[in-house]
Amino acid sequence: MNIEQKILYYKKNKQCETFHKLKIAVNGICKIIKPIFPNIEPLKYFNYFIENIDFDKIDKHDKKKRPTKEEMLKYCKALYYGLGMMLTSDVDDILFDYQSNILHLNKKQIIETHKEIIRFIGLLKKQSLIFGEEKNLEFSARINLTLLYEELCNEIKNGKWLTPIDYNKLIGQFNVTMMNSLLVSYEIISKNFIDLLVIKEKEVDDDEKSTLTGFQSTLTLPQIETLFEQLKGSYIDENTNPDHFKAIFKNEPLPNDFEPVKWIDKSRTRHENNIQTLYELLYLLKEYNYLDKTNFDTTATNENNLYRKIENFFAGFQNISVKNPCKIMQDTTRKNKLKEIVLSLPS
């Protein structure tokens, strides 16, 4: 019989308990690996064992058809080293490739994939408890599998004929050990996703900054410098970076290291940073043709709308969109003082 015929034969033969246990174990492990390697197929592992193990002999109770001592050692070695070497090696390669590939995911893909990994961590933990209770096995490290393999080999050498229970115990312990290894790996991946998400969040913030442009302005460099000196200390923080202030009034992308300018003028009634004085300054600059009217679009679908510009250009404001910026404020002492500043700009 060829491999396909043997697989079909063992599948139909209900007496081949060891094959069925092995099939369940391999299918279960492959299913858990699927989220990070969709192309994994259990057939590769079935082929190996069918070539190296005569399951009919393992499950026969007829003394004349029992496997020899050499055959039993070969079968144990195939179950321990064969499954161990093939699956563990493949999983290591899969995890290495997966860790490399997730670096190229975007923020949304990271969040969605991380949810799937967390779900499988939960399933692994649940399965470990169920499997451990049914088989009376600990969800343990590989050392227990090694000890079991050595124990069975010693028993064979001392003349014991292994029963299907012995082989199934070896398969069961391997299944548990692989589950434990996968759980540890998935938890490492989960942590890496969290770390990567922090990096991606920063990249998104930087990307958003790079797409933001300053106000469309006719202000010359000397005028911006004069405005900066007039506002410093009373309206903007003394330690404001002059280059970052200048960037606000240039129709160019903000620099990647841009830090929002801290507006320090306080509201007399609410004792918070006064958004109204900023609006008054901006509308005075518009009134004297230093700022284009397109700067004052507040449409939500416009990613460069006035509210978003203020949110990204200036620090310390609350309720940016509550104040109505769509009309010139009344003439007040405060507004007149700002008007003097605007009129003092060099021509």
pLDDT score recorded for residue 48: 81
Who wins on pLDDT, 44 or 138?
44
Residue 178 has pLDDT above 50, yes or no: yes
Task: Answer yes or no: do 168 and 190 share one domain.
Answer: yes
Residue 186 has pLDDT above 70, yes or no: yes
- Token pair 């007040």 is at which residue? 332
Q: CA 39, 42, 43, 49 torsion: positive or negative?
A: positive
DSSP string, 82-111: IHHHHHHHHHHHHHHHHHHHGGG--HHHHH
Who wins on pLDDT, 103 or 346?
346
Q: Please provide the average confidence, as pLDDT, over all residues in the chain.
A: 78
Task: Answer yes or no: do 25 and 98 share one domain.
Answer: yes
The answer to the question of residue 234 being in a domain is yes
Last-in-domain residue among 190, 211, 232: 211
Task: Answer yes or no: do 289 and 158 share one domain.
Answer: no
The answer to the question of residue 327 being in a domain is yes
Q: Choose among 81, 189, 183: nearest CA to 141.
A: 183
Domain range enclosing 233: 221-343
* Cβ atoms within 10 Å of 275's Cβ, excluding its own: 22
Task: Answer yes or no: do 30 and 171 share one domain.
Answer: yes
Classify 290 in phi/psi space as left (phi over 0), alpha (psi -120 to 50) or beta.
alpha
Q: How far is CA 24 from CA 43, 298, 312, in A?
A: 12, 61, 56
Task: Answer yes or no: do 198 and 303 share one domain.
Answer: no
C-alpha 119: how far from chain center: 13
Instruction: For residue 182, give the amino acid letter.
Output: L
pLDDT score recorded for residue 138: 44
pLDDT score recorded for residue 78: 83
For the chain, give me the number of helices (H) and strands (E)? 14, 2
* Cβ atoms within 10 Å of 199's Cβ, excluding its own: 12
pLDDT classification of 38: cutoffs 50, 70, 90: confident
The answer to the question of residue 63 being in a domain is yes
pLDDT score recorded for residue 304: 77
The total number of structural domains in the chain stands at 2
The answer to the question of residue 253 being in a domain is yes
Task: Answer yes or no: do 206 and 225 share one domain.
Answer: no
| Percent of the residues in the chain that have a pLDDT greater than 70, as a whole number | 83
Query: Rg (Cα) of the chain, in Å, rounded?
Result: 35
Last-in-domain residue among 187, 211, 235: 211
Last-in-domain residue among 157, 188, 211: 211
Who wins on pLDDT, 210 or 186?
186
Tell me the mean pLDDT in the region 197-205: 62
pLDDT score recorded for residue 129: 57
- The residues, ordered by sequence, that sit 6+ positions from 226 with a Cβ below 8 Å of its Cβ are 344, 345, 346
The answer to the question of residue 102 being in a domain is yes
The answer to the question of residue 285 being in a domain is yes
- Any idea which of 82-86, 161-165, 343-347 has the lowest mean pLDDT? 82-86
Q: How far is CA 207 from CA 212, 213, 215, 302, 341, in A?
A: 9, 12, 18, 17, 34
Residue 30 has pLDDT above 60, yes or no: yes
Task: Answer yes or no: do 188 and 327 share one domain.
Answer: no
Who wins on pLDDT, 317 or 135?
317
Q: Choose among 229, 125, 236: nearest CA to 187.
A: 125
Task: Answer yes or no: do 123 and 183 share one domain.
Answer: yes
pLDDT score recorded for residue 143: 47
pLDDT classification of 75: cutoffs 50, 70, 90: confident
pLDDT in tens, 230-286: 999 999 999 999 999 999 999 888 888 888 999 998 877 767 788 888 989 999 999
pLDDT in tens, 127-170: 655 544 444 444 444 446 778 888 888 888 888 888 878 887 88
Instruction: For residue 97, give the amino acid letter.
Output: D
The answer to the question of residue 198 being in a domain is yes
Task: Answer yes or no: do 26 and 118 share one domain.
Answer: yes
The answer to the question of residue 216 being in a domain is no
pLDDT score recorded for residue 301: 76
Residue 313 has pLDDT above 70, yes or no: yes
Task: Answer yes or no: do 42 and 161 share one domain.
Answer: yes
Task: Answer yes or no: do 225 and 205 share one domain.
Answer: no
Task: Answer yes or no: do 10 and 142 share one domain.
Answer: yes
pLDDT score recorded for residue 200: 63
CA distance 35 to 117: 8
